[in-house]
Amino acid sequence: MKIIVSLLLAVLFLVFLNLENVRTGYEINKLEKKKAELANYNRVLNIEISRLRSLERIENVARKELNLTTPDKFETLILAQKEETPKGFFNKALSFILSIF
């Protein structure tokens, strides 16, 4: 009797393992399909980002929606870039201190 019960339990355990294996296979297949869908959606979004970042599109929006125009040479002001690095500051401070003495 113990042998029959043991065999029955072993068979039930094997059936359970087989069912779990099949269920896991379906889950993996479903997740792989979802991954492919998300990868495709990611490609679509990257294309949209590229389109929205294009300089031609930005210029069109600036001109048509914001009514901006290209400034002529008299409307353009070029500012010199101020370069104040710590190294430059310390050199100036050292020069000042040395000029005192």
Amino acid at 23: R
Residue 9 in any domain: the answer is yes
What pLDDT shows up at residue 74?
74
Residue 88 in any domain: the answer is no
| Full-model pTM | 0.53
What pLDDT shows up at residue 92?
74
Tell me: pLDDT of 98 over 90: no
Residue 60 in any domain: the answer is yes
Domain that holds residue 10: 2-73
pLDDT tens per residue, range 28-47: 999 999 999 999 999 999 99
Kindly state the tokens that stand for 26: 């379906």
Of 83, 87, 81, the residue nearest 95 (C-alpha)? 87
Q: Is 69 in contact with 63 (CB distance < 8 Å)?
A: yes
Amino acid at 55: L
Q: Is 27 in contact with 34 (CB distance < 8 Å)?
A: no
